[in-house]
Amino acid sequence: MKNLILLISLLCSTIIFSQGNITNNDIIVTSDGQLIQAKVVKVTDNNISFNYPGESVINEIKVSNLQKIVFASGRTQTFNSSQSAGVLPKENSSLNKNNNPVQQTNPLIPKEDIYLLPDYKENTLAVIPFSFVKNGKYQETLSGEATSYATDFLLKNASQYGIQVQDMNTTINKLINSGINHKQLRESSSETLRKIIGTEFLLSAELKESSILKSENKAANFYSTSKSTVPTSSGIKTSITFKLYDASSEKYNVSFTEDLKIKTSDKNSASQQQAHRWKSSMKYVLEQFLLSKSL
């Protein structure tokens, strides 16, 4: 009976001793989720020192690489970290030729590449206020009409090509708030305008329209003995140059020129055609722009 009691006592002591070895270890949780079972021997503001079970080597790990430490006593100490864990052995039992301890360190953890977000919204386009010159003179009203016409056309048609067009008021307000007027607009680089407006693509255009009048020297009537200059026909020459800038500031140019002849006998029709001819020319160029998938 005494032997049985002694045997049970020895078994209990062995179990308690084994459990004690397990619970005496601390658990180190790194910022990348790694669990390290060790004995923490020192904690400072920058590092903690520990050794692995059954080893005498003292290792160090930066506090910035830790999430928390769960001590064997049950106490938990947490840390703020955002970097990957890296354990640096402080000492090592390896010896050099002079039998002196050799300190070993793990390779430095490579830094992650930082991806900077672009300063514009991708797949977006803004129409930069156009310039309209008629018969050699800059036309403020026609410039505004041409800009609005192009913006409205693209707002209705560009979405099917995956392009979102910024409305004209938003573009104008951003330019005004940045102190950009019409003159400064022509002197500003595409990089500067992109930062101000915030779109990936920038579209600008120059329109030129000139009237052409042809005449002949004819007698005024049957009884006239002298000749005078009589207009026989008139026409309109329209030229449009589009410039498209993408995110890399690469420029695409599209130029279009059209001559329209109008009979002078129909003055009302001639006046109407002159007033709206540039719109049909611009519509054609914009359609070709979208079909070419330059965006």
Q: What digits encode the pLDDT tens for the residues 157-176?
A: 999 989 999 999 999 999 99
Could you tell me if 132 and 86 lie in one domain? Answer: no
Q: Determine, yes or no, domain membership for 69.
A: yes
216, 189 contact by CB (below 8 A) = no
Could you tell me if 74 and 157 lie in one domain? Answer: no
Q: Determine, yes or no, domain membership for 35.
A: yes
Could you tell me if 81 and 148 lie in one domain? Answer: no
Could you tell me if 233 and 197 lie in one domain? Answer: yes
Q: pLDDT tens across 45-94, in order?
A: 888 898 888 787 888 988 888 888 988 888 888 887 444 444 444 444 45
Q: Determine, yes or no, domain membership for 183.
A: yes
What's the domain range around 31?
Answer: 26-94
Could you tell me if 130 and 260 lie in one domain? Answer: yes
- Its pTM stands at 0.54
241, 180 contact by CB (below 8 A) = no
pLDDT at residue 216, as a whole number: 64
Residue 10, Cα to own-chain centre: how many angstroms?
71
Q: pLDDT tens across 178-210, in order?
A: 999 888 888 888 889 999 999 999 999 999 998
Could you tell me if 147 and 255 lie in one domain? Answer: yes
Alpha-carbon gap, residue 164 to 261, rounded angstroms: 38
Could you tell me if 206 and 277 lie in one domain? Answer: yes
Could you tell me if 141 and 281 lie in one domain? Answer: yes
Could you tell me if 76 and 190 lie in one domain? Answer: no
- Tally of structural domains, the chain: 2
Could you tell me if 152 and 55 lie in one domain? Answer: no
Q: What is the mean pLDDT of residues 34-41?
A: 88
Structure-token pair, residue 264? 């002078």
Residues above pLDDT 70, as percent of the chain: 66
Could you tell me if 136 and 273 lie in one domain? Answer: yes
Alpha-carbon gap, residue 257 to 247, rounded angstroms: 28
pLDDT at residue 91, as a whole number: 46
Could you tell me if 243 and 132 lie in one domain? Answer: yes
SS3 state at 220: coil
Angle at which helix 168-177 crosses helix 140-157, to 10 degrees, equals 130
Tell me the one-letter amino acid at 111: K
